[in-house]
Amino acid sequence: MRTPRLACALALLLAGLGTTGAAPLPEVVTLRARPFPLSDVRLLDGPFREAMLRDQQYLLSLDLDRLLHTFRVNAGLPSSAAPFGGWEAPDVELRGHSAGHFLSASALMCAATGDARFKARVDTVVAELAKVQDALAKRANPGYLSAFPEEFFDRVETRQRVWVSRSMRSFTQPACLRRPWKSCASKRAG
């Protein structure tokens, strides 16, 4: 009998010690984080800077005419560039989305480094996409801009399959109905 009472008293004592003398918690936590421009951040030597330098090299190595190839072809504009393969291949129904990723990455790299080459490349791609959009306005809805035909959206609306790639079906998910929207969203984000 004595042991359970002693154990209970000890448990109550220890529970009370955990809160005794502790300062009360504030009801509202003051926000201390503040947004700041990316241009205020500079990476020092180390793995993150090394990764950024590799990203810079990659972005600067991309051939802009190849990046724009499927956009131009879709708009009926001439293109002598060889298309990129993979997700940007002409038979990939999601083609063109890499341009948005390129624009985002290049804009962020310009802000992070101050390197004007990235702004110049963004300006070039945006100017060329404006030409594509103007050409597409003559045969599609005004404002439409994509590396694939506007009819892909008709297929989505009628719930037909929209494949990422006819030649890569075994590597992709079938019946991916949102892909045309995702491709346009990545360009807008860029």
**Domain contains 151:** yes
Q: How many domains does the structure of the chain reveal?
A: 1
What is the structure's pLDDT at 58? 98
Read off the amino acid at residue 151. Answer: E
Q: Domain for residue 9, yes or no?
A: no
Q: How confident is the model at residue 144, as a pLDDT? A: 87
Q: Which residues contact 136 (CB under 8 A, 6 or more apart)?
A: 74, 75, 144, 145, 146, 150
Predicted confidence at residue 67, as pLDDT, reads: 97
Query: For residue 115, how many other CB atoms are within 10 A of its CB?
Result: 15
Residue 81, domain extent: 43-189
**List of the chain residues with pLDDT < 50:** 165, 168-178, 181, 190
**Residue 180 falls inside a structural domain:** yes
Quote the pTM value. Answer: 0.70
Confidence at residue 152, expressed as pLDDT on a 0 to 100 scale: 79
Given this model, what pLDDT does residue 128 score? 98
> Is 110 inside a domain boundary?
yes
- pLDDT of amino acid 59: 98
Q: Of 146, 151, 170, whose CA–CA distance to 88 is shortest?
A: 146
Q: What is the dihedral of CA 165, 170, 173, 176, to 10 degrees?
A: 30
Residue 37 is assigned to a structural domain of this protein: no
pLDDT tens per residue, range 109-123: 999 999 999 999 999
